[in-house]
Structure 1
């Protein structure tokens, strides 16, 4: 039987130790006096608790398939639903799961929301991705029936939640369009805590110590992420700058990794493009602090206009100038710390990167503006209070009296785009 108020977090698309947003959420809940269990796909088999946490329990389940077609995804989602349902019911019978948070994708867990709410347990939807738009971005020309089905599932997921946590104002607006009371939607942006970023002692340093400029991409390698655009931008850069004095570092992993490695080899780019694989938090911090410029190759699709990429705040937190397509939420996040291109073609990215590499004064100014923006608005410290307040409110009767105080969000923390130039 749980002694402290207990939150169970459900994830379907990543092992818990790879989801930096969920890690930060767990640590925030721990600090506010909650116990936490995370039910997620199996990752590192040696882990029993979340790395860096006090006692957040991991309850992994086996992954049996990763597919690329509609039926493969349907099977994968069905399997994850079954595994999560069994483990969640076990948590309820064990006296835990006083409140549940589900993270998408996919949007298939609304029947569990109905079940948990029927027995008086709050259900919070942490809205990571717009699934219909992700599907459209992945396939190019979406099947209208699949798109409509995903839209219905999103509607059900939003409407069956007790409250919704949205990653930006566009997601909050989307929830309101789906009929959710805006007062039940809290904006909690993605982004590292200041403690995750090592101090360098040289806030004005923009030139690489080894004389080799590093152009960095950080994140997932999926069809919708357009990482091939970064590889092709590297090819364009070889024509503009030659093959010395710079490198492109692609840090991450995902289903597109084999195709990207093949593309780099076929284009003769193995000497200027480096793949690091998936990195832990310390390695992410190190590689971004060494970066001269970051690239965000996401194309101007509806999904990308409405989404705040986690990598964007990782970049700006280290003061790295970012080259990106001119997307609504990207501009709301970066402001003048970004250099924007209209269409996101490899040639446009290469031209913007080339110009920045030759302009240390502009990079220095972008670095300064980015760090100021991060420290005053975007860091996890500005999000944690609003996030914890959701569960403090929902589980107030289970919290000790000293812990019940609901913190008022700092300016910009609850709805950050009110102070950003969206």
Structure 2
């Protein structure tokens, strides 16, 4: 079977969509299938093309047996609604054109978060008369409303009409959460064509390891209890709560025991750094995005992992993929997200759940993890056990069975 996968995020980018797509495609190649990925020049999250790449009309490479076709797109930093839409649309157009020239495909996959990539997959499937699958990673454009990035308008209403059209036209939908599936069914989409394949973890990479001594010394973390957030610093993540908690923890304890590490980039990072400097919040360490291999070294520094999203009902339906990486590395989680993901944290007994955007609750959880040694040991030990339930290899093969089934349908 020849699988054509369209995505605007792919390694060497290190965000969740890029990692999921790469790890799934790698497993499909191992299973004996041909995989072609159409993507753009790596640039997320800074909106700058990575070293060794160029934003040119077309370029090709092989990666773990995957044939990668990179196309030109309008590249911008992850800020400003209009610029982001231009970015998405340019990739939709260029990706569609490039995909048309990929020969002898059996099934097309288009992945969100935004649905313009799914638009491209739909058009390619229609032109090539092949079934297409919508991999649903985010309820977009509803997430725009959730973070307040755009006011209610006829534009948003029109985008939602396109969204529903794509759901109806897809041969199958692969949702990353049960909550997304329930939402689509409530909106009139046939439930029998929606499967749930959650995010997961490559247990061979994210496994227990000692703290990286060089990084401990570089960031002066000896004898410190380190709570870290690793990921995008965007509107959705409300990371001002972490700065509030850093100030509060210092005030509550009167000491210098705790450090908060924020690694990544995004639309809000500059403002967070400016605020920390202006208010003298000196127990927060900011680190720019690092390579995939380096990320694991930074994970090793953490005594607790911070996962946080803005307090809004939409985010009760998401499952942040980094929680599975924490499980694999035996890092207890301070989880500031309600809903489906919180239930997994509690079910697997791998962390403490706190109310989103509640700095006092975050602080209380942090102190509890540091001071209750029996609880901390239990949460650490439960991590790898829980991670086995979300092994990326197993999940990739579940999705492969869906693609094999869909590839047999007539268009």
TM over 0.5: yes
Partner secondary structure for residue 186 of structure 1: strand
Q: Does structure 2 retain, via aligned residues, the 8 Å contact 1:298–1:325?
A: yes
Q: Does structure 2 retain, via aligned residues, the 8 Å contact 1:127–1:165?
A: yes
Q: 2:202 aligns to what?
A: 193
Deviation at 1:166, TM superposition (A): 0.8
- Which runs of no fewer than 5 residues in structure 2 stay unpaired? 43-49, 54-59, 212-219
In the alignment, which of 249, 254, 279 is matched to residue 290 of structure 2? 279
Superimposed CA distance per residue, residues 115-149 of structure 1 (whole angstroms, 9 cap, x where no aligned partner):
52354212111111111331012217841534423
In the alignment, which of 352, 357, 360 is matched to residue 344 of structure 1? 357
Q: 1:20 aligns to what?
A: 19
Deviation at 1:171, TM superposition (A): 1.4
Q: 1:50 & 1:304 partners in 2: Cα distance?
A: 36
Q: 1:342 & 1:230 partners in 2: Cα distance?
A: 13
In the alignment, which of 265, 286, 289 is matched to residue 277 of structure 2? 265
Q: 2:36 aligns to what?
A: 37
Deviation at 1:272, TM superposition (A): 1.9
Q: 1:389 aligns to what?
A: 401
1:125 aligns with 2:134: yes
Deviation at 1:87, TM superposition (A): 1.3
1:216 aligns with 2:228: yes
The residue correspondences of 1:232-311 to structure 2 (distance < 5 A) are 232-242=244-254, 244-269=256-281, 271-311=282-322
Deviation at 1:42, TM superposition (A): 0.8
Q: 1:356 aligns to what?
A: 369
1:105 aligns with 2:113: yes
Q: 2:193 aligns to what?
A: 184
Partner secondary structure for residue 255 of structure 1: coil
Q: 2:81 & 2:356 partners in 1: Cα distance?
A: 29
Partner secondary structure for residue 363 of structure 2: helix
Distance 1:6 1:59, change over 3 A: farther
Q: TM-score, normalised by structure 1?
A: 0.82
Number of equivalences: 381
Moved more, 252-261 or 112-121: 112-121
Q: 1:234 & 1:210 partners in 2: Cα distance?
A: 18
In the alignment, which of 336, 339, 342 is matched to residue 325 of structure 1? 336
Superimposed CA distance per residue, residues 53-111 of structure 1 (whole angstroms, 9 cap, x where no aligned partner):
124324242333347444334333322222112211222xxx14432111113223436
Superimposed CA distance per residue, residues 139-183 of structure 1 (whole angstroms, 9 cap, x where no aligned partner):
178415344233222212211111111111111212323333323
Q: 1:67 & 1:21 partners in 2: Cα distance?
A: 20
- Which runs of no fewer than 5 residues in structure 1 stay unpaired? 203-207, 398-422
Distance 1:393 1:175, change over 3 A: same
Deviation at 1:279, TM superposition (A): 2.8
CA RMSD of aligned residues (A): 2.6
Q: 1:303 & 1:251 partners in 2: Cα distance?
A: 25
Deviation at 1:246, TM superposition (A): 2.6
Q: Does structure 1 retain, via aligned residues, the 8 Å contact 2:39–2:68?
A: no
Q: TM-score, normalised by structure 2?
A: 0.84
Deviation at 1:385, TM superposition (A): 2.0
